[in-house]
A and B are shown apart, each in its own frame.
Chain A
């Protein structure tokens, strides 16, 4: 008995993320390994059981390893120091044209887009936004609330807070609370992007945010940011540890686990989009169905293999 295919498992059954900071990433006996050539050590990564792998400077990855990550539906993200700058990601989206067209239809129609944005507002602040407001006005309301929430949480955790200030090109330039927040949001964006891709949607097609490769990721991540990563970042910042990024990641992983975020993200994405109250468009009657239909998979809708 030889070949048995390898398939992705659902996002909700996975751990959140693993950062890899050095070593040669390869495949040995079919398993995903990180090899430290200096010490001759080999570390197994349960690649199929994590939502995303964040590869920091100092890693090299083989073709076989990239293929394996793709096969098990795990998002690879190439990031800069502390995961703050994002260089590239390795899981092609757009596996589901019906989902993409649905998302595009919601984003293109102003009244549908407003419905989606209102739903985001509602999920985020736990109350319906005031009626008859434009997306622009809702954004203003949101900004004011966000500034207040930062101040409130900073005071609660005893952190000196001068506002959210950061320079993406100079990691060390901002103060410790801002560094912690940048590292923490990077973690959240990683798993959110993995969830969006797994659900079959496009990370770039945002509703509140626009013009960035991760606009929709920011939209979705913002809904849960202040209940998960912001308190985690402030808690770490309050202790002022020598290696804040490391501590932040551990705190984020705990926060994700506690909030059951991996289980919630995909249903939340569907919930937000369903606020538009339209059905995903059916294929046009003259369209050609697949010659070889996709076999049933235990993974999520957007997983390719």
Chain B
């Protein structure tokens, strides 16, 4: 069991409802829980299937050097990058159309 945080943006309401089956929505689109690896993977499957055009990041406590890991779904200005084996986040400039 490890602490899990899921942050969603622009996802359909039924996906937000689905996440609330297992996790607690502490702020709009921000979900927190304490789950096993198996349940985390099951929740990620749900995210991938239901997020549509929205974007999602999921972070969980682990024994990594940083103490956590994370993965993302969909497009966001914040992008994960591998920095000498450490996963950091790069912030892209705003797109002008």
* B56 CB, nearest partner CB in chain A, Å: 13
* A1 CB, nearest partner CB in chain B, Å: 5
B57, CB-defined interface residue at 8 Å: no
The interface size bin for chain B is: 20 to 34
A49, CB-defined interface residue at 8 Å: yes
Q: Assess the B25–A1 pair: CB atoms within 8 A.
A: no
* B83 CB, nearest partner CB in chain A, Å: 32
Of A4, A7, A48, A298, the residue contacting B50 (CB under 8 A) is A4
CA distance A6 to B21 in the complex (A): 9
* A142 CB, nearest partner CB in chain B, Å: 35
* Interface size of A in residues (CB-CB distance below 8 Å): 20
Q: Assess the B24–A44 pair: CB atoms within 8 A.
A: yes
Determine the chain B residues whose CB is within 8 A of the CB of A28 once the complex forms.
17
For chain B, what secondary structure do more than half of its interface residues adopt (helix, strand, loop), or is it mixed? helix
Of A4, A46, A47, the residue contacting B45 (CB under 8 A) is A4
Contact pattern, B 18-32, Cβ under 8 Å of A = 1, otherwise 0: 101111110000000
Total CB contacts across the A-B interface at under 8 A: 62
A9, CB-defined interface residue at 8 Å: yes
Of B13, B23, B42, B52, the residue contacting A46 (CB under 8 A) is B23
* B82 CB, nearest partner CB in chain A, Å: 28
Of A1, A13, A30, A298, the residue contacting B21 (CB under 8 A) is A30
Q: Assess the B17–A30 pair: CB atoms within 8 A.
A: yes
A152, CB-defined interface residue at 8 Å: no
Of B14, B39, B48, B49, the residue contacting A9 (CB under 8 A) is B39
**Interface residues, chain B, CB within 8 Å of chain A?**
1, 13-14, 16-18, 20-25, 33, 35-36, 38-39, 42, 45-46, 48-50, 52
A-B residue pairs, 5 tightest by C-beta: A29-B17, A30-B17, A31-B17, A31-B20, A4-B49
